[in-house]
A and B are shown apart, each in its own frame.
Chain A
Amino acid sequence: MKKYILKRLLQIIPVLIIITFVVFCLVYVAGDPVALMLPEDSSESDREALRQALGLNDPFIVQYFGFVMDLMQGNFGTSFRYNQEALPLVLERLPATLELAFASMVVATVISIPLGIYSAKKQNTFGDLFITGGSVLGKAMPNFWLGIILILFFAVNITIFPVSGRGSFMHIILPAITLGTGIAAEMTRLIRSNMLEILNQDYIRTAKSKGVSNSVLVYKHAFRNSLIPVVTIMGLQISHLVSGALITESVFAWPGIGQLLVQAVNGRDMAVVQAAVFVIAILVIVVNLITDLIYRLLDPRIHYS
Chain B
Amino acid sequence: MQVNTKADLPLTRPVALNRSFSGKVKRWTNLLFQSKTGTAGLLIVISVVFIAIFADLIVPHPPAENNLTNMLKPPAWLEGGSWEFILGTDNLGRDILSRILIGTRVSLLVGVFSVVLAGVIGLIVGIIAGFYGGWIDSVLMRFVDSFLAIPSILFILVFLAVFEPSIMVLIIVIGLTNWVTYARVVRGEVLSIKEREYVKASRSIGSKNIKIMKQHILPNILSSFIVISALSVATTIILEASLSFLGLGIQPPDVSWGAMLTDGRNYLATNWWIATFPGIAIVITVLGIIFLGDWLRDVLDPKTQVNAKGGPK
Chain A residues engaging chain B, CB cutoff 8 angstroms: 11, 14-15, 17-19, 22-23, 26-27, 29-30, 123-124, 136-137, 139-145, 148-149, 151-152, 156, 189-190, 192-194, 196-197, 200, 229, 232-233, 236, 238-239, 242-243, 246-247, 250-251, 261-262, 264-266, 268, 270, 273-274, 277, 280-281, 284-285, 288, 292, 295-296, 302
Nearest chain B CB to A118 CB, angstrom units:
15
CB-CB < 8 A to B246: which residues of A? 246-247, 250, 262, 266
A246 to B286, CA, bound (A): 21
**Which of A14, A142, A148, A284 contacts B241 (CB under 8 A)?**
A142
Q: Name 17 interchain pairs, CB-CB below 8 A, sorted by A.
A: A11-B145, A18-B143, A18-B146, A26-B161, A30-B162, A140-B282, A142-B238, A142-B279, A156-B268, A193-B309, A233-B309, A239-B153, A243-B239, A247-B245, A247-B246, A262-B248, A302-B312
| Complex contact B153–A246 (CB within 8 A) | yes
Number of A-B pairs whose CB atoms are under 8 Å? 157
| Complex contact A144–B242 (CB within 8 A) | yes
CB-CB < 8 A to B291: which residues of A? 136
Q: Is the interface of A mostly helix, strand, loop or mixed?
A: helix
CB-CB < 8 A to A197: which residues of B? 8-9
Contacts A140-B234, A242-B151, A246-B153: A22 and B158 contacting too (C-beta < 8 A)? yes
A288 to B265, CA, bound (A): 35
CB-CB < 8 A to A139: which residues of B? 286, 290
Q: A18-B150, A26-B159, A149-B279 are in contact. List 12 more A-B contacts (CB 8 A).
A: A17-B146, A137-B283, A141-B282, A142-B282, A145-B261, A149-B276, A151-B268, A196-B6, A246-B157, A264-B161, A266-B248, A284-B151
A280 to B248, CA, bound (A): 19
B113 CB–A CB distance under 8 Å: no
| Complex contact A238–B151 (CB within 8 A) | yes
A12 to B33, CA, bound (A): 49
A15 to B269, CA, bound (A): 45
CB-CB < 8 A to A281: which residues of B? 150, 154
**Which of A194, A247, A270, A288 contacts B309 (CB under 8 A)?**
A194
Nearest chain A CB to B237 CB, angstrom units:
9
In chain B, positions 77-133 with a C-beta closer than 8 Å to chain A are none
Nearest chain A CB to B253 CB, angstrom units:
19
| Complex contact A196–B283 (CB within 8 A) | no
Contacts A15-B146, A18-B143, A136-B287: A265 and B160 contacting too (C-beta < 8 A)? yes
CB-CB < 8 A to A233: which residues of B? 309
| Complex contact A148–B312 (CB within 8 A) | no
Nearest chain A CB to B104 CB, angstrom units:
15
| Complex contact A152–B268 (CB within 8 A) | yes
A193 to B264, CA, bound (A): 38
A122 to B179, CA, bound (A): 38
A251 to B261, CA, bound (A): 11
A32 to B115, CA, bound (A): 32
Contacts A152-B268, A190-B309, A229-B309: A141 and B283 contacting too (C-beta < 8 A)? yes
Of all chain B residues, the one with the shortest Cβ separation from A295 is B312
B142 CB–A CB distance under 8 Å: yes
Nearest chain A CB to B87 CB, angstrom units:
16
CB-CB < 8 A to A156: which residues of B? 268-269
Of all chain B residues, the one with the shortest Cβ separation from A156 is B269
A158 to B177, CA, bound (A): 42
A149 to B312, CA, bound (A): 38
CB-CB < 8 A to A243: which residues of B? 151, 153, 239, 242
* Binary CB contact string for chain B from 59 to 70 against chain A (1 if under 8 A, 0 otherwise): 000000000000
CB-CB < 8 A to A292: which residues of B? 312
In chain B, positions 205-254 with a C-beta closer than 8 Å to chain A are 234, 238-239, 241-242, 245-248
In chain B, positions 265-282 with a C-beta closer than 8 Å to chain A are 265, 268-269, 272, 275-276, 279, 282
CB-CB < 8 A to B155: which residues of A? 22
| Complex contact B282–A265 (CB within 8 A) | no
CB-CB < 8 A to A200: which residues of B? 9
B310 CB–A CB distance under 8 Å: yes
A151 to B276, CA, bound (A): 12
| Complex contact A261–B157 (CB within 8 A) | yes
| Complex contact A242–B154 (CB within 8 A) | yes
B1 CB–A CB distance under 8 Å: no
| Complex contact A123–B6 (CB within 8 A) | yes
Nearest chain B CB to A214 CB, angstrom units:
20
Nearest chain A CB to B42 CB, angstrom units:
16
**Which of A124, A144, A242, A265 contacts B245 (CB under 8 A)?**
A144
CB-CB < 8 A to A22: which residues of B? 155, 158
| Complex contact A288–B248 (CB within 8 A) | no
A284 to B151, CA, bound (A): 8
Of all chain B residues, the one with the shortest Cβ separation from A299 is B312
**Which of B150, B286, B309 contacts A19 (CB under 8 A)?**
B150
Of all chain B residues, the one with the shortest Cβ separation from A148 is B275
Nearest chain B CB to A281 CB, angstrom units:
5
Nearest chain B CB to A106 CB, angstrom units:
21
CB-CB < 8 A to A17: which residues of B? 146
A29 to B279, CA, bound (A): 36
Nearest chain A CB to B8 CB, angstrom units:
4
CB-CB < 8 A to B258: which residues of A? 142, 144
Of all chain A residues, the one with the shortest Cβ separation from B147 is A18
CB-CB < 8 A to A302: which residues of B? 312
| Complex contact A14–B312 (CB within 8 A) | no
| Complex contact B309–A232 (CB within 8 A) | yes
| Complex contact A136–B290 (CB within 8 A) | yes
B311 CB–A CB distance under 8 Å: yes
